[in-house]
Structure 1
Amino acid sequence: MSKILLIGFFGAIGTLLRYFISSSALKNIIYFDIPIAILFINILGSFFFGLILSSTSEGFYISRDFQLYLTTGLLAAFTTFSTFSWEVVEMINSKLYMNALIYSFTSVLLCVLFCWLGYIILRT
């Protein structure tokens, strides 16, 4: 039970960090109609997700439980894009290049499509 509570605690931190960054001065920066704050959050979350999950294979020790709190709790609440990014990296590391390409393309395309469909359904 304490593991679940700690994941929730770290998730709350991730949520608050996301809110803080997306509400910051970065929110007002729009470049080529791209919301820079959200892009920054996704890039930062993906970077730390990869860093944490590769840390043990590179000689740094982070306990499995603490990895879980940071990845499933903090970073998943901060951005779900980090999980997607890690899955693609694992495919590339396994030399499953076509799988990585197909997964990337279909994930982005279908997620954007279904987000748009959800938006449209309630407007009609």
Structure 2
Amino acid sequence: MSNCYCGNSIPFQDCCEPYIKGIANAPTAEKLMRSRYSAFATGAADYLVNTTHISKRRYHNKKDILAWSQANKWLKLEVLASTETTVTFKAYYLDENLKAQVHYEHSTFKFENNRWFYVDGEY
């Protein structure tokens, strides 16, 4: 079995998949961010929309998220730092032209109604 897309050394089905499938809620902001990376890697656009804070969802289109998710080949996630409500990371991927890219982001999360949500990020 291979490691989860998020970089944890356990299989996807034991790591991020339960969150993506709605079997469990991510218990921390970092686990939510890792599962969102795995959702990009697997094309789980519904999860990405549903884990975006309600105040920001109007800025995120499911069709565009899915297209961007599928146009790229997701290579690796590197978590640089995390606090209770923030995660700084680098996401490595190949774009649609197979050019290596790195997405750097300092993300903010909010815990509301017993669930974590992605609010926004600084690039």
Q: Which has the higher contact order (CA 8 A, sep 6+)?
A: 1
**Which of the two has greater strand per residue?**
2
**Which of the two has greater helix per residue?**
1
TM-score w.r.t. length of structure 2: 0.32
Q: Which has the larger radius of gyration?
A: 1
